Structure 1
Amino acid sequence: MAADHDDDVPRRPSGAHQESGEAPAAGGGRHGGHGRPRGPRERWRAFRTSPFLPAVVILLIVAAGAGLFAGSYTYNMANPTPRRIPAAVVGDATAPSAAAFTDGLERALATSLVLHAYPSRAAARHAVEEQRVFAVVDFRTAGGRTAVRLDVASAAGQSVAQVLASAAPKAARAVRVPLELGDLKPLQRGDPRGLALFYITLAAVILGFVGAIQLSVNARRLLPFERVLAIAANSLLGGFTIAAVVDWWLGALRLPFVQSWLILALTMFTSAMVFTMFNTLFGRWALLPTWGLMVLLGNPSSGGAVSWPLLPSALGRIGQWLPPGASVNAQHTAVYFKDAQHVFPYLVLLLWAVPSTAVFWIWRHRHPGGRELGGRTPPAHAADSGAAA
């Protein structure tokens, strides 16, 4: 039957298009548009509509990001230099030998010590617990001679304690003053360099916004409140896993488990909601401001790998107001200074988490995801934006 049907179809005679006045096919006999070289504007127009433009943009962004990433971490961490180190002083700091030791210590450190006088060692130790000072310098005078005891606090800042413990013997030998070294807040045995808290905070920050990215790509149809609940659940589970691995499995740190877990969970939630806010505002480019804020700026200035007195002064102050720095601060206090808890780092995390959530909720219609309650999918452009993010 197919053959019979084909026979019934009228066939067009050869050359009919010429008889009917139709234009010949492009390229047939006459030069088409491709025969003329394209000008710069046409080439640029073709490039803009090709898949090569976004590829080139991504290449340039990644190259710039790689340089900024390496530069940020190298500038802040490769050669930490003391700026101003707060220290407690007990005893007569104006005695000639004491003043000579202090001057020699400042020259050896190439910085200035911000000395705070306290009436007793107990008061000075309390200042260490409050994390107002990083060391205690105790001048003791007997028989007309001055001896010095320097107590650092490694848990408050291992890098600061290290430079102080290295420079103090040189200063004491130069002025011929007996020196005794001590550590009021030693680090735990499983974390001799004091980096474990920085690493768990880094994991919480990065996995927080990576989890939000994955939800945007693979669970884009979540309603706004479902997205917030999913981020909260991911944060609680992720924070628990980080704390359990570091404490129970590796034994690197003895954590106040519930408190450290909740700090990690709040850190992950904050990081995720910051990305979600940027995804609402900037769509597919949301990773750029998130990475810049959390990784390029926040982590190097957090005080976890290099203590704030050794960071450039502006970064040291800024870092305390960013989520990574607040998380490191909260963990340090929870693990090593539990008798002197501070509310400030928790407020900083909340000051990022709450407004980010509010921005997402207010402009949730702009977020590249969601669905209507009737089960219909969102418009195609919203889904495409979510996949690109």
Structure 2
Amino acid sequence: MILRSTLSAYRAAQVVVVIGVLMASLFVASYSIALGRPMPNHIPTAVVGDRKPYAALINTLQQQVDGALEFHPYPSRAAPEAAMKRQTMKAALILGPQPPLLLVSSAASAPVAGVLTAAVERVGEALAPHAAAPLHAVDIRPLPDTDPQGLIGFYVTFAATFLGFSIMFNLRAHEPRMSPRSWLAFIAVLGIVGGLALTVIADLMIGALRGPFLEIWAAAAAQIVVTALFTSTMIVLLGRWAIVPAWLLFTAVGNPSAGGAVSAPILPAVYAFFGHYLPTGATVAVIHNATYFHDARHPEPIVVQLLWLVGSLAALLISIRALHWTPVSDSDDVADIAVR
């Protein structure tokens, strides 16, 4: 009997080690592909003026960014600046009698602005190494000194994700008799209190993320709640193995595709696509837009957040009702814990 128990524990430990190594390996691979080697990819760029006289300049600029600039003609400089304000354009090439300008926006995407500014410098070295620069980069909406890389919103989202993810597993371990109604009430309180704490720290205490307080609070709270609801659903369905899908969705894929550390135009296409529809990417976008583009908000990330919120809650309630399990029970102890 003792030998059988020891062998069983040994096999269980082997499974845990194998899964842990696979998860860590996927983490390294995913982050390295998405964030370690960012490459320009489909950068919508407005262009004003006749391109023919500047063909050599444009070709050289495209060479520096691997042909990633997607040009859209505009009639005047004011029009692309308005488009950049709405974030439909990430840059604007202004051609005319004066030296050409490439308008960038660090507030829209610091990584994209950095890539394009570096490309402009290389264009000058290639075309006029001993003369005046043939192209100048102008940042029309720079980031503040409190958030020079535009990463604070991503950090708040990351913390909110970690909070919703980790607290659910701790709650399952330490409160094994909590009813579904109490569990849901706990998630609601966690979202409100956790979102408030993160917003107070980032905004009021250290002044790193200065934006509409209530909007940032709501976005952080929504991320905590969505993460907690999804993790709870996985706990109901998979028990102790719930960490695998929750970790994959929010850590291995959600974080690198969120557009926080590396924005969509320089992410691999697959990550850029999923980033628009995953909760982490939506939360990063909501916080970023509220902070730096409050005069031109986009409804899409808010809609994505709401869909994940409603969908995760529905999935949890359906799972509990169908399987008669609570988030704190699994197949080993269903008989001992009644759904109250």
1:162 aligns to what?
A: 114
Shift, 1:231, TM fit: 0.3
Partners of 2:336 and 2:151 in 1: CA distance: 40
1:243 aligns to what?
A: 199
Shift, 1:50, TM fit: 2.2
- Structure showing greater Rg: 1
Is contact 2:233–2:315 with CA below 8 Å preserved after alignment? yes
Shift, 1:173, TM fit: 4.6
The secondary structure found in structure 2 opposite 1:282 is helix
Cα separation, partners in 2 of 1:173 and 1:51, compared to 1, 3 Å: closer
The secondary structure found in structure 1 opposite 2:70 is strand
- Please list the CA deviations of residues 85-129 of structure 1 after superposition, one character each: whole Å capped at 9, or x if unmatched: 11111222x2322x2221111101123210111112221111112
Q: Which amino acid aligns with 2:276?
A: Q
Task: Give 1:19-34 correspondences, 5 Å limit.
Answer: none
The secondary structure found in structure 2 opposite 1:50 is helix
Instruction: Identify unmatched segments of 5+ residues in structure 1.
Output: 1-42, 371-377
2:172 to 216, 233, 253: 216
Q: Which amino acid aligns with 1:53?
A: R
Q: Which amino acid aligns with 2:36?
A: A
Shift, 1:357, TM fit: 1.1
Percent identity for Structure 1 against Structure 2: 38
| TM-score for both structures, normalised by structure 2 | 0.91
| TM-score for both structures, normalised by structure 1 | 0.80
1:114 aligns to what?
A: 70
Partners of 1:300 and 1:173 in 2: CA distance: 33
Partners of 2:258 and 2:120 in 1: CA distance: 27
1:269 aligns to what?
A: 225
Aligned residues: 330
- Answering whether residue 160 of structure 2 is matched by residue 204 of structure 1, we say yes
Is contact 1:369–1:382 with CA below 8 Å preserved after alignment? no
Cα RMSD for the two superposed structures:
2.4
Partners of 1:49 and 1:366 in 2: CA distance: 29
Instruction: Identify unmatched segments of 5+ residues in structure 2.
Output: none
Cα separation, partners in 2 of 1:317 and 1:48, compared to 1, 3 Å: farther
Cα separation, partners in 2 of 1:383 and 1:329, compared to 1, 3 Å: farther
Is contact 1:149–1:179 with CA below 8 Å preserved after alignment? yes
The secondary structure found in structure 2 opposite 1:140 is coil
1:149 aligns to what?
A: 101
Shift, 1:382, TM fit: 3.2
- Please list the CA deviations of residues 52-98 of structure 1 after superposition, one character each: whole Å capped at 9, or x if unmatched: 11111111111111111112111111121112211111222x2322x
- Which of 1 and 2 has higher RCO (CA within 8 Å, sep 6+)? 2
Task: Give 1:221-370 correspondences, 5 Å limit.
Answer: 221-364=177-320, 365-369=324-328
**109-118 or 217-226: which moved more?**
217-226
The secondary structure found in structure 2 opposite 1:301 is coil
Cα separation, partners in 2 of 1:192 and 1:220, compared to 1, 3 Å: same
The secondary structure found in structure 1 opposite 2:39 is coil
Partners of 1:238 and 1:383 in 2: CA distance: 34
